[in-house]
Amino acid sequence: MAADDKKIPYYQRIANELIEQLKVGAAPWQVPWEAGVPKMPHNPISGTRYKGANALWLAMQGRGDSRWMTYKQAQGIDAQVKKTERGTLVQYWKLFDQITKKDDNGKPILGSDGTPIKTTIKLDKPRVFSAIVFNAEQIEGLPELEAKAEPDWQRHERAEKIINALGVPICHDQHNNAYYCPSTDSIHLPRREQFDTADKFYATILHECGHASGASHRLDRDLTGRFGDESYAKEELRAEIGSLMLGDELQIGHDYGQHAAYVDHWVKVLQDDPKEILRASRDAEKIHDYVMEFEKENSKVVTVEQSRSSQPKSVVELAERLKVRELGEELER
């Protein structure tokens, strides 16, 4: 990392790079999707995916492999970062810490296995810490990334279950437009046969489900904006990143075409306030978590055309739980 780069705040680096990629059509959601090849970054050693702004930042590096890890993690599996390769910075906000329990004499309390017992405490102030990670393409000795494409019927069935469990009415009353209407809490789009592929059909609905998650009785975001408004552009940015995450996890991809009109608005928002990328990524992560939770909440197999207007009893409770839950990553206050 160059010395000058260290002086640039993390959020500014992400915003600057995203602005440039948006201008040339190279943002992560503008890149073609390939079935079975995950696009969103994950750590194969810890078994977790990167989240929020970190996920977006790593996806923006233009790598063909979605695996990222630290130098030490690579060494731990007898792999080696190639000479001259430069790592990529990621940052986390730490809200909790673990400390050793002590007795009245200040000595560590040991467990049955002889090791000190730890307890989790909430920090008075969030602390930021950084890590340098390397992409699998920069590391020698790793196995090839395996494509694990689910059958079409399985991918689409998963999407069907989630969409219907969300419970937002779907009206096929449009010719070539798709949108979520906050006033009626309903999704409007063309008939299924008007979409080129089933993947695009589901990807479009899931994008609108992302908007629907912002209703006051769900995640409660500002949905009052109109096209051209700053608030409208901010909401679209959240839904775009959120549906990118959803499309990757469900292996149905992301249909960027109908959202190209927002590029100039996104660029202006990020130029005016670079920290908006942290807030947008954080909210996109909440959208992902909220929508994916319905895969666990409802196991019934129904069709999209049979969507019910009633909300499952757990929806409001779920929204509240996601509002108050702090993941301790990419948190911007």
CA dihedral 243, 244, 247, 253 (to 10 degrees): 130
* Pairwise pLDDT comparison (221 vs 108), residue with the higher score: 221
Calculate mean pLDDT across residues 33-43: 83
Same domain, 59 and 156: no
Is 27 contained in some domain? yes
Confidence of residue 283 (pLDDT cuts 50, 70, 90): very high
Same domain, 168 and 288: yes
Which residues are CB-contacts of 50 (< 8 A; sequence separation ≥ 6)?
Answer: 40, 41, 42, 43, 58, 68, 90
| Residue 67 pLDDT greater than 90, yes or no | yes
Angle at 172 between CA 169 and CA 174, to 5 degrees: 125
Q: How many domains does the chain have?
A: 2
Q: Which domain holds residue 31?
A: 3-91+125-140
Same domain, 157 and 248: yes
According to DSSP, the residues that pair with 98 across neighbouring strands are 120
Answer left, alpha or beta for residue 330, where phi above 0 means left and psi between -120 and 50 means alpha: left
Is 307 contained in some domain? yes
Is 114 contained in some domain? no
Same domain, 132 and 226: no
Which residues are CB-contacts of 292 (< 8 A; sequence separation ≥ 6)?
Answer: 162, 246, 249
Same domain, 15 and 86: yes
Is 194 contained in some domain? yes
Kindly report whether the global pTM for this prediction surpasses the value 0.75: yes
Is 200 contained in some domain? yes
Is 120 contained in some domain? no
